[in-house]
Structure 1
Amino acid sequence: MPRHGRSHTAYLFSTLGLIAVGVILTSGCTAPWTSDSGSSMSYLNPWSSDDKEKDEPSHDWEKIRTVGDLTVPGGMNNAKIKGVTLVTGLHGTGSDPPPSQARDLLLNEMRVLQVDQPQQWLASPHTALVMMEAIIPPGARKGDTIDVVVFAPPETDTTSLENGYSPSTRMSEMAFLGGRARKGNDIAMASGPVVLDSVIEGNSSKANMRRGHILGGAVMLEERPLALGLIEGEVSIAASASIGAAINNRFHMYREGTKQGVATPMTDKLITLDIHPRYKDSISRYVRVIRFIPLSRSTEFRQRYLAECEAELLEESTAQAGALKLEAIGKEAIPSLKKGLESQNELVRFCSAEALAYLNDSACIEPLTEAARTNNGFRFRALQALGSFDDLDVIDSLEGLLHEESAEARYGAFDQLKKRSNQLPSIAGELLDNHVQLHHVRSASSPMVHFRLKDRPEIAIFGTDVRLNGDVAFVGQNGLTIRSSGHRKVTVTRFQPGGGELDKECSNDLKEVIKALTEIECGYGEIVRNIFALRNEGYLTARVEVNAMPRPDRNYVRSEELMAQESDEDENLTDNFSQSSESAKTEESSEVTTYAEGDDTLIPSFD
């Protein structure tokens, strides 16, 4: 049985990927790290050989190279869960759904919950049946939150999900087979306000009004652990145990004061992996590092392997593989990585600093901070690495990045600081009544308002004295007005259908205006839309950005090329609700690619 009280569902999650891999391996396909003549990536391995006899599987552990030579990872794919629910709170834009499997499933759920008069609830124009979907990423843990997509089925007459709210709803693996809905175990519980795709995408098409997201709306009920499966021809209890021992010699953590390894050999062909806290936001890197762990513990072997990895690190073409291998070796590789910091090559220096961060060595702080500041091809990985580092000195470096003009550098640093503590004075925040997280961020650069439309509803105001300007006479949608009412004061009013109004007088400071909008019952999407409208009408001069997160799909461009390009390009403001317009500088053919197509990190796939 899995240790730490894991349920059958969690165990099944980890093995689903292995089953798929097993089908590939046993059907005659060749994995990308093996071939009929040995390793197709043999140049990455200091013990590769052209001699077929030496490359054949062996249980002489002095000859076996790394964990990755004997295993394939499992649980690295995204998993989809689904649900069906009744969104409430609509302003006459809902509909009574026609007979369908989804309607039957929803009615059954309502009966289980003992909802009175479920047919009347469905018939109301203020409610709508919606389908829910969520993607569970690799390594998701119990209690993690994930975004939920909600959409009205095409056969319904619902016109808009604006102002909608989903009650607590069970989500599971689901399929419609033989005219019936088939459900698995409950994986997550979802609830929360709907943010329309018309807000997220800046396009008020009919489809976007019938579709939206509940940001961070699903809470995981189960963990989704990672796993390694032994490849065909290497399956044995001895192999599984030896691989587990090698991994645990490198990675361990403390549970309730007890030191424990991260790997648990479950069978002769399956090893489950707990996620080391330092890699909780870098799952792909974690698995790659594990697969580079050498299986031999002999001093002679490790010294020779260390020298080979150091040589790889110092060459630009192999620097990333060399850095990962040295990181896999552990603390004894730190001197080699520090040699990389002295390299004249920018990529070598960065890869060395990145690996040092995951080894918790403070020599990484300055080069990673500089990389995040100056090269957007490094920024995503640099900030992730700084976020993994335990030393308090990293807080000063991240706070320094809050003063950069780059929206990505500023917000990326803020995001890492927030993961450490929501109460740091530099990013002071509060939770509003509509569940929006509002932060005022100390920044000496030009004022900026940032809206996050992924993972959580959040507004971050960068700079001081960010306020509405001039004699404000703003008319928004759904009966909303904002008008000047005195020196540096405005009155925020909502006229309600059928008569009556809600109003709130406040300072024209943007933070206070946002609080007032919350008090007159504006949802997050409505706040986003109105702040953009205020900016477009000239009442707000601060820069407004949406989802200006550092992106993993950037390419590394040498700094001298980047500076030449930036001299001819200005960073534009976003005119709608789309992603930040901070562009990737990837035009030059001399760039070194650091992104693997379809992956969620910049590190290329060596497996």
Structure 2
Amino acid sequence: MNRAWELAAGISRRHFLAWSAAVGAAGLAGCKSTEAAKLQTPRSQIGEDPADPETVPTVGSKTSVGNTEALTVSGVGLVYNLPGTGSSPAAGSWRTMLEDSLKKLKRDQTLNLRELLDGPGRTTSLVIVSAQIPPGAREGDPIDVQVTLPDDSKTTSLRGGELFATELITFDTTGNIRAQVRGPAARGGNQLVAGSVWARAQGPLVAGNIVLDGADGKEAKPDTDAEGRALYRAGFIAGGAKVAHTRPYYLLLNSGDQNPRVGAAIAERINTTFHTTSDPRFKVADAKDRELILLSVPAAYRHNHYRFLLVARQVPYNPVGANSVYRQKLEEELMDPATALTAAVKLEALGGDCRRSLKIGLESASPWVRFAAAEALAYLGQTDGAAELARLAEDHPALRAQSLKALASLDDAAGTDKLVEMLTSGDAELRHGAFIALRLADERHPALGGALMNRSYYLHRVGGRGASAVHLTAAGRSEILVFGDNVKLRGPMPPVPLGSEFTVSVPAGDEGAKVTRVVRLKDRDPEVKEARCGADLSAVLGALANLGGGYSEAVELVRRSARAEALSAPVVMDAVPREMSIQQLAGFAKVDTTLAKANVEVAKVGTVQPAVDANGFEVPVDQGPLVAPAGAALPKQALNRNPGRLFGPSRASDAPILDPAVVPAGGR
């Protein structure tokens, strides 16, 4: 019998739920024992009058949110196509796991493992593959993949390699499982237990100095071997794995409300509030038993899971009438800047029949009120506030990230048209943020001008009358954005080395560029390939890709040509909107009616979208504005566009420690 199932024998139903969450054996992976400590036991409020604005029971008053942390998955994989920099894996547990994995994946084919792993050409290497499954991820969602070498590996570089299909699974120890179930059910020593397969990773690696510079502003150098060759012992594959199972959020009923009737009533209220006509069979909430309700994120909130959970917790347990005191009180609070943000969330939680109340807020003189109303209307599928959201994104950096997210949620040209207009903005942050929002709203929109280059990265040529610029990001999706119609390499530019095989040069005048690749072969003369093209940056990147160049070489070309002042447009790094939490915004709204201070402070206290559970799921309480100490320096955070995170980094603790020369996907 499978060791994991042996451990399950004799565990009670509730304990089995906690155990399965620990090892990822069920769709509820990620549940932590700390959730039990968060459960409260309030008196059941089923019979209270929902018309009383002070005592209306809500979903949040009867439940707590679970499964809100990322799930770590990993596996042992094989990188192939290395240019003689690989190594034969040593005998041991890593090699055994790799051989078992290869046999499983190629069960229908004859596989010579010794020839594959121990070939004289040193073209393969054993690697450790890891990834983070974000909360709320759906089957098929892409996630970033980290690839590292074991400490004892003799491989000198992963550059140029490609990851063979690798299953990523959850692991835990029997000791952790025993702690989860708080009993003697998990017997034996502290052994490693494998859980479920959560993703499969594969694809070409990006290994090399992508965007990081040293502390002195000069290009960071990787470690080198005795012959001066770069050592790239880690890399990443942006979007290199697909999620195999949906990870729903869930609601745990408080102990005083744990019965099937309450669970079914809460699920019905949520499904009624977030009803969608696009797929009548789709259930947002599914009551599994007396304690547990599974939550699936509706399409309107696919880029803002936090907003969905915040609103879902404010859904009244009992239906609220059109003329109820509760609704009237919220309509009054919406028009007050100090309470508008909270009132808008609660009105949004009443569903589509509150749209008229929200539309009145669009006429307010206060930008806080207009923003609160327009944002809520967007998530209700209403385009009335689209123009206002676009104006707020342009005028107020403090509201920019949230406004762009709301525009991206609109399944309508009213939203995408406004995003397209912002692509020509002179504000680099607004322009890049609008690009990200437009790509998430409609990945095939013609204004994006995207093309996949050598299966390694996306090149987006965004024309228009805006100022020319080249935008790069430190992590996340591998892409280069070229804004403007006339971004060129200027000569004379002497040969610029890219990686270990490529050079690009531009002679004086307008004679175009030359891309050269020199492949050094063992016991043979080097193989030289050349391509000539125009000096347009997009054309040079295309020629580089045609010769086999990847993302690392492309970014290296952009950075080095800019340093040599051979690029006709500036290079912009990580120009994405920072945002403050709803709690921070509510604090400023009480004292900063024009957003003058909030627009400045967002650069100090804002983040590039925190984790979904970073600020809790309560609506704002009465508090002062949150301001960073004078002169406080905040670290730049990298993009990680996981499902539900439009402008989002992973927390620093999520990312493994890699070589300084490698930018990990999802963190620095």
| Bin for the TM-score computed over the shorter chain | 0.7 to 0.9
* C-alpha distance in 1 between matches for 2:534 and 2:61: 64
CA 1:313 to 1:115, structure 2 compared with 1: closer, same or farther past 3 Å?
Answer: farther
1:113-192 map, 5 Å:
113=106, 116-123=111-118, 125-175=122-172, 182-192=193-203
Distance in 2 of aligned mates of 1:198 and 1:61: 62
Which is further off, 596-605 or 284-293? Answer: 596-605
Structure 2 CA distance for partners of 1:395 and 1:251, relative to 1, 3 Å: same
**Correspondence 1:277 to 2:292:** no
Residues 13 and 309 (structure 1), Cα distance of their counterparts in 2 relative to 1, 3 Å cut: farther
In structure 2, relative to structure 1, the CA distance for the partners of 1:175 and 1:93 (3 Å cut) is farther
Deviates more, 1:373-382 or 1:415-424: 415-424
Once the two structures are superposed, what CA deviation does each residue of 1:100-149 show, in whole Å capped at 9, x if it has no partner? Answer: 42222112222332574424433453322211111111111111100011
Task: Out of 61-70 and 518-527, give the one that drifted further.
Answer: 61-70
Alignment equivalent of 2:419, drawn from 389, 398, 403: 398
* Aligned twin of 1:447: 468
Matches within 5 A, 1:23-38: 23-25=36-38
- CA 1:304/1:259 → structure 2, altered by over 3 Å: closer, same or farther? farther
The verdict on how the C-alpha distance between 1:93 and 1:553 changes in structure 2, with shifts beyond 3 A counting, is: farther
What's the CA shift for 1:161? Answer: 1.9
Which SS does the other structure have where 1:494 is aligned?
strand
| Distance in 1, Cα, partners of 2:264 & 2:112 | 58
| 2:33 aligned partner, one-letter code | A
Which residue is equivalent to 1:489?
Answer: 512
Matched residue, 1:20: 33
Of the three residues 213, 237, 242, the one matched with 1:219 is 242
1:594 offset after TM fit, Å?
Answer: 9.7
SS across alignment from 1:132: strand
Q: Is the 8 A contact 1:192 1:217 kept in 2?
A: yes
Q: Pick closer, same or farther for the CA change 1:61–1:562 going to 2, 3 Å.
A: closer
8 Å contact kept, 1:434–1:524: no
Which of 357, 365, 373 is the aligned partner of 2:378? 357
Aligned to 1:580: none
Matching of residue 586 in structure 1 with residue 604 in structure 2 = yes
1:466/1:509 contact within 8 Å kept: yes
Q: What is the aligned counterpart of 1:252 among 264, 271, 275?
A: 275
Q: 1:80-479 residue pairs with structure 2 within 5 A?
A: 80-112=72-104, 113=106, 116-123=111-118, 125-175=122-172, 182-196=193-207, 198-202=209-213, 203-206=220-223, 209-254=232-277, 258=280, 260-299=282-321, 303-452=324-473, 454-477=475-498, 478-479=500-501
CA contact (8 A) 1:594 1:603 kept: no
- What is the letter of the counterpart of residue 194 of structure 2? K
What's the CA shift string for 1:252-272, capped at 9, x where partnerless? 2357x6455422222121122
**Where in structure 2 are there 5+ consecutive unaligned residues?**
1-19, 51-55, 175-188, 214-219, 225-230, 621-668
| Aligned position for 1:579 | none
Q: 1:341: Cα distance to partner?
A: 2.8
State the partner residue of 2:180.
Answer: none
Amino acid at match of 1:121: L
Change (3 A) 1:18 1:213: closer
**Deviation (angstroms), 1:512:** 0.7
Amino acid at match of 1:521: G
Residue deviations 1:421-458 (CA, integer Å, cap 9, x gap)? 34433222222333422221123222111234544322
**Gap change, CA 1:77 and 1:170, over 3 Å in 2:** same
The 1-side partners of 2:127 and 2:362 are apart by 54
Change (3 A) 1:131 1:393: same
Which secondary structure state, in structure 2, belongs to the residue aligned with residue 329 of structure 1?
coil
Residue pair 1:67, 1:291 contacting (<8 A) in 2 also = yes
| Unmatched 5+ stretches in structure 1 | 1-7, 39-55, 567-582, 588-592
Post-superposition offset of 1:89? 2.5
**Larger deviation, residues 197-206 vs 102-111:** 197-206
Contact 2:28-2:247 within 8 A present in 1 as well: no
Give the direction of change, closer, same or farther, for the CA distance of 1:349–1:19 in structure 2 (3 Å limit). same
Letter of the 1:325 partner, please give it. K
Name which of 527, 532, 548 aligns with 2:559. Answer: 532
Q: Is the 8 A contact 2:454 2:549 kept in 1?
A: no
Q: C-alpha deviations, 1:223-261, integer Å up to 9, x for none?
A: 112221211110111101111111122112357x64554
Q: Which residue of 1 aligns with 2:645?
A: none
Q: Is the 8 A contact 2:490 2:506 kept in 1?
A: no
Identity %: 30
1:574 equivalent in structure 2: none
Determine the C-alpha separation between the residues in 1 that align with 2:45 and 2:374. 36
CA distance in 1, matches of 2:261, 2:597: 55
Q: Summarize the Cα distance change of 1:11–1:68 in structure 2 as closer, same or farther, 3 Å threshold.
A: farther
* Distance change in 2, residues 1:164/1:392 (3 Å): same
Select 1:515's aligned residue among 522, 538, 542.
Answer: 542
Over 3 Å counting, the alpha-carbon distance change for 1:276 and 1:200 in structure 2 is same
Q: How many residues are paired up? A: 551
Distance in 1, Cα, partners of 2:407 & 2:610: 24
RMSD over aligned CA atoms reads 3.2
* TM-score under structure 2 length normalisation: 0.75
How big is each residue's C-alpha offset from its partner over 1:53-80, in whole Å with a ceiling of 9 and x where there is no partner? xxx2143264551111111122222111
Distance 1:322 1:253 in 2: 23
Tell me the residue number matched to 2:532: 505
Q: Quote the offset at 1:604 in angstroms.
A: 7.0
Supply the distance in 2 between the matched residues of 1:603 and 1:338 (Cα, whole angstroms): 28
Distance 1:298 1:480, change over 3 A: closer
SS of equivalent to 1:299 = coil
In 2, the alpha carbon distance for the partners of 1:601 and 1:551 equals 15
**In the alignment, which of 63, 66, 69 is matched to residue 61 of structure 2?**
69
Instruction: Name the structure with the higher strand share.
Output: 1
Give the whole-Å Cα distance in 1 for the aligned partners of 2:434 and 2:536: 24
Quick check: 2:396–2:599 contact (8 Å CA) kept in 1? no
Deviation of the 1:162 alpha carbon: 1.5
Which structure has more relative contact order (CA 8 Å, sep 6+)? It is: 2
SS at match of 1:219: strand
- Counterpart of 1:57 in structure 2 is 44
The one-letter code of the counterpart of 1:391 is: D
The residue type equivalent to 1:86 in the other structure is L
Which piece of structure 1 moves more, 399-408 or 334-343? 334-343
Tell me if structure 2 keeps the 8 A contact 1:506–1:512: yes
* Secondary structure, counterpart of 2:349 in structure 1: helix
- Summarize the Cα distance change of 1:604–1:447 in structure 2 as closer, same or farther, 3 Å threshold: farther
